[in-house]
Amino acid sequence: MMIVSQQSHNAISWAQDYDTRVNPTLMTRLLHEAIPVLQWTGWRVTEVEEGCCITELPLNHATTNQHGTHQAALLSLSADYTGGLALATLLRGVPFAGVHPCNEDNSAALWLAAMDVRYKCPSTGHVTATCKISEETAQMVRQRYFAGKRVLVTLPVIFRSNNEVVAEAEMKYFAQPSIQLKPTREKPAINPLFKHKLKASARMIAGLRATADENFVRLDNAHEKHAAGPHGELLAKRLQGILPHLQQTVAARTKHIDQTLLSIPNLQQVVLMGAGLDMRPFRLCHKLGRPTFFEVDLPEMLEERTRVISQLQDRPVVQRRMVGADFKCDDLAKVLLQHPDFNPHLPTAVVYEGCSMYFTEQENREILTLLSQLLQHPESRLWSDMVTPDVVDGTTQVQEIAAFVDGMEQLGEKFVFGCNDAAGFLADCGYRRAQVTTAQDYLESRDPTYSAYRFVVAEK
C-alpha cells in the first residue's frame, strides 16, 4: 500500500506545492473542468495560502434569483469548494481524486459530509468566500491523514459582499487516502465511496456501449441504455469530450469479444470477469446457442447488477450464475471449479475485459494463471485486452496516446500494467498459443492512438 508520507509532505516546500498543485489559476481551471456549474456561474479562486482559500462568486445573470441577489444554493456551492480547497492546501504533494491527475495509491478522497449555512442578508454585489483554518486544526488534519487515519473536520466559511458579512457556513469534510477505500483481505467490507465508484464505472461503460456507432457495432441499445441509466449516459457524454478515442475503443473491443465468442464451436460456458453491467448475456444468448453465463464480480457490484437486470423489460430467459469474488484476494479457479454448475471440460470462453491495465504485473500473472485452469477443453479460449508499457510509463512518442493517458489520470483511472509481448506473457501464465491484434489494425484506422491497445485470444 502506498500513501504519500509525512516525510514526502515535508520534502515539498509550500512554494513548490503552490506552483504545481493549488495555485488559483490552476485550481480554477481544474474545478471548472470537473464541476461545469462553477464555470457557468463564473466562480473562481482568487487567493490561496497554506490553510486558507478565498474565492469569488460574481453577481451576474446566472447566479441571481428573482430579486437580483445571489441564489442561496449557489452560496452553499461556493462554500463547498472554498472549504475543500482550504483543506487541500494542508496536504502538500497529495493530489485529490476527481480534480488532480492521480491514482488510488497516492491520492486523497475528499467529500462534503454535512453543511450548515446561515444567511444574514441579501448580497447585492460580488461575494467573496473565505475559509481560514486554525493552526491547531491544521496540525490535527495532517497528523491523522499522514498516519493513514480518516479525517473528519468542520471548517468555517465567511461570505462578504460590499464589505459586510452576508452569510456564514460550517462545512464538515471527510478526507482519507483513496487506497484505504478499497477492500482488502483483512478488511473486506466495501466503503460506500468505493462502491459508488464501482457502480459509476460500470454505468459509464454501459453508456459508451449504448451510444456506439451502429454502423460499426450493432448492439441491443435498449439493454445498454437501461444499464447505463441517466448517470451512465451523462458520464459517457462527458468522457467523449475528454477522451474522444474511448468510445471507439470500447466499441471495438465489444465487437471483437462478440466475434470471438461466436467463433467457438458449441460454446457451452461464458465467464465474464468483472461483469459490471455487461448486457452481453441478453444480446448474444440466442446467437451463441444459449450457453451458461458465469458473471464474476465483487458482491456489491453484483447487487447493483441484480437491481438493474430486474428492471429490464421483456428480457430473454438466460442461463446465468452470479459469482461473487475479489480478483486480488480470492482463488478464482477454486471459486469457479467448486461451483456446482461449472464444468472446465466443456467449451468455455473467459472474458477478461478492461482489467489487465489496472492490476500489477504480478497480480495479472496470478489471475491469468488461475483462469487457465478453467480452459480444459481444446476449443476453450481466453479473451483479454492489454496496453503497451509506454502507455503506462509515459514514454510514448505518440501525442494522441499521451493525451489519452493524461485524460485517464484526470479521471483517477491510471494504468499500472502494460506488455509488449502479450503472447509471451500469456505463455508464462500457462497458455499454449495466443493471437494478438492491435485495435488500430482491427479498426483499419490510420490513427496511431489505437496502436498501443491490443486484443488477445489465447488457448491453454
Residue 402's pLDDT is 74
Looking at residue 452, what DSSP letter applies?
A: G
Q: How open is the CA angle 425-429-431, to the nearest 5 degrees?
A: 90
The predicted structure's pLDDT at residue 230: 81
What is the 3-state composition of the chain as percent helix, strand, coil, each rounded to the nearest 5?
A: 45, 20, 35
Which ranges of the chain have pLDDT less than 50? 1-3
Distance CA 313, CA 146 (A): 49
Burial code (b: 16+ CB inside 10 Å, e: under 16) for 164-185 equals eebbebebebebbbbbbbebee
Q: What is the pLDDT of residue 289?
A: 95
Q: pLDDT digits over 49-84, tens only?
A: 999 999 999 999 999 998 889 999 999 999 999 999
Q: What are phi and psi of 172, to 5 degrees?
A: -100, 120
Domains and CATH numbers, the chain: 6-180 (3.10.129.10), 192-459 (3.40.50.150)
CA 131 to chain centre: 30
pLDDT number for residue 2: 44
Contacts of 421 (CB under 8 A, 6+ apart): none
The pLDDT value given to residue 233? 78
Distance in angstroms (rounded) separating the CA atoms of residues 255 and 216: 8
Q: Please, are residues 116 and 170 in contact by the beta-carbon 8 Å criterion?
A: yes
DSSP bridge partners of 160: 128, 165
The β-bridge partners of 349 are 270, 381
Q: Is 34 helix (H, G, I), strand (E, B) or coil?
A: helix
> How many Cα atoms are found within 13 Å in the side-chain-facing hemisphere of 136?
1
pTM for the predicted model, two decimal places: 0.70
